[in-house]
Amino acid sequence: MGNRVKNERTAIYAFVAGLGFVLVVGLALASVALRTARQSLVVPPAPTGSGVAAAATNDVSAPPSSALDPTKGPTAWGYEVARVMALAFPESDGGLITAGELLSLGPILPVGERVPWDRLKDTRIVQVEMSGSELLAAVASGVKYYPRKNSSFLQMFGLRALCQQREQTTQLTSLVVGEKAVLPGKTYRLAVTEFMAKGAGPFIGLKSVKVKTEPVSLVKQLRIRLFPLGRVPQPEPTYLFTKQGS
């Protein structure tokens, strides 16, 4: 009888030890799987573009992508938000959001930062059609006071602007969509905020703007594409600035 009890205890101890080993291995495998899943959810850095971006020389300056003041130049977070806006509407040529609206959305995030979902304040976005001439006017209005603060400075995706700094103002000298220069007589489709589509910010006074879609939530679109562990990737250059006489 004593040997039987002893054998039963031994079997129980062996079973418990085996179960513990299985649990340890399972937890280790789950940890590896979680790390892999997190890495796959991080948006990869955007590739360096060509065209205007490839024209950078010692005479051309581009604001650092780590900048955190969207009123004074392009930011990594502004680029990522504009990118998500463009993806929300098929066949968009690009996305635009003003510095002021980006600040209203929430904190300006540097490259590599996780998106703080609980700190974002929603706004609505739409797709519009507009003429090339008025698109040029809107971007020109946004860069006019660069590098001074300007809440109408446009954070962009899908477009690249070459600008020239003069004594008092900065002028837009060329604007590219994809690999082609924006043509005044051509029509372009862009994802913008509902605020801009109604004629605010750099869209004040524009006559050709036509809303083509129902508005959607910007924060929802960000969650669809970045949630839950999205980080801000390195942006592609959208602005290059030269100094007059260079």
**Band of pLDDT at residue 8, cut at 50, 70 and 90:** low
* pLDDT(245) > 70: yes
The answer to whether the CB of 226 falls within 8 A of the CB of 232 is no
Q: What DSSP state is assigned to residue 111?
A: T
Tokens of 49: 């573009």
The answer to whether the CB of 175 falls within 8 A of the CB of 182 is yes
**Band of pLDDT at residue 67, cut at 50, 70 and 90:** confident
Where is pLDDT greater, at 3 or 37? Answer: 3
**Band of pLDDT at residue 119, cut at 50, 70 and 90:** very high
Q: What is the mean pLDDT of residues 148-165?
A: 97
**Does CATH number 3.90.780.10 belong to domain 53-243?**
yes
% pLDDT > 70, the chain:
73
Closest CA to 233 of 124, 105, 69, 114: 114
**Band of pLDDT at residue 167, cut at 50, 70 and 90:** confident
The answer to pTM > 0.85 is no
* Secondary structure class of 129 (helix, strand, coil): strand
Taking the domains of the chain in order of start, what are their residue ranges?
Answer: 1-41, 53-243
Res 58: pLDDT: 40
The answer to whether the CB of 204 falls within 8 A of the CB of 210 is no
Q: Which residues of 129-145 are buried (b: 16+ CB within 10 A; e: fewer)?
A: ebbbebbbbbbbbbbbb
Closest CA to 179 of 35, 50, 4: 50
Q: What is the per-residue pLDDT across 185-237, written as a single tens digit (0 to 9) for each?
A: 999 999 999 999 999 999 999 999 999 999 999 999 999 999 777 889 999 99
The answer to whether the CB of 153 falls within 8 A of the CB of 73 is yes
R_g of the chain computed on alpha carbons: 25
Tokens of 222: 């960000």
Q: What is the mean pLDDT of residues 232-243?
A: 94
Average pLDDT of every residue of the chain: 82
